């Protein structure tokens, strides 16, 4: 019997529509990870001109900006560019974030986080979002993001994560 993986085993959520954020700091949609075993975010970059982007993972007590955001450490991996096939090393991203270089255009960043680490941040922290801060000299930063969440209770009707 076939199991349609994306229909029942994973919660797939677009969290940032493809956009040019140029030199504008941008947060993705928040995701409630309280009922999730694991959270993986894939950030796809198109053209990046001129400079770097700082990528942070933030935890919050609410599903909207409320000044409780705290940057949390995470693991990430940079893919190769489109039409090539290799992966960078798994790297620790600190609460200061990770730096994405202008040379990393047309690559994706895979961010992994275990929601079991959130109680160490604070009792009410259950929401995550990515926050991207391009350097002010960027003239184009094309980016989009999707969350892939592993729910505690998979099935045909997965609990809401937003």
Domain boundaries, the chain: 23-151
Confidence of residue 82 (pLDDT cuts 50, 70, 90): confident
Q: How far apart are CA 145 and CA 36, in angstroms?
A: 18
If DSSP codes are grouped into helix, strand and coil, which group holds residue 73? Answer: coil
- Which of the following CATH numbers is that of domain 23-151: 2.60.120, 1.10.10, 1.10.1670, 2.20.110? 2.60.120
Q: Is the pTM of this model over 0.75?
A: yes
Beta bridge partners of 70: 59
What is the model's pLDDT at position 70?
Answer: 95
Tokens 């940032």 map to which residue?
16
Cβ–Cβ < 8 Å for 143, 54: no
Write the pLDDT tens digit of every residue in 102-130. Answer: 999 899 999 999 999 999 999 899 999 99
What is the model's pLDDT at position 5?
Answer: 59
Helical spans, DSSP H, in 5-145: 5-8
Q: With helix as H, strand as E and coil as C, how does 14-59 read?
A: EEEEEEECCCCCEECCCEECCCEEEEEEEEEEEEEECCCEEEEEEE
* Residue 4 clears pLDDT 80, i.e. is over it: no
């Amino acid at each position: 019997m076939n199991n349609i993986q994306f229909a029942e085993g994973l919660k797939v959520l677009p969290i940032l529509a493809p956009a040019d954020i140029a030199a504008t700091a941008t947060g993705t949609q928040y995701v409630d990870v309280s009922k999730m075993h694991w959270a993986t975010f894939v950030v796809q970059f198109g053209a990046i001109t001129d400079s770097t982007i700082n990528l942070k993972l933030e935890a919050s007590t609410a599903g909207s900006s409320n000044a409780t955001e705290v940057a949390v450490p995470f693991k990430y991996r940079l893919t190769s560019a489109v039409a090539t096939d290799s992966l960078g090393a798994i790297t620790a991203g600190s609460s200061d974030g990770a730096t994405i270089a202008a040379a990393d255009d047309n690559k994706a960043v895979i961010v992994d986080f275990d929601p079991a680490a959130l109680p160490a941040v604070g009792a009410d922290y259950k929401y995550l979002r990515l926050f991207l801060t391009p350097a002010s000299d960027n003239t184009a930063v094309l980016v989009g993001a999707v969350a892939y969440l592993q729910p505690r209770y998979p099935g045909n009707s997965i609990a809401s994560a937003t």
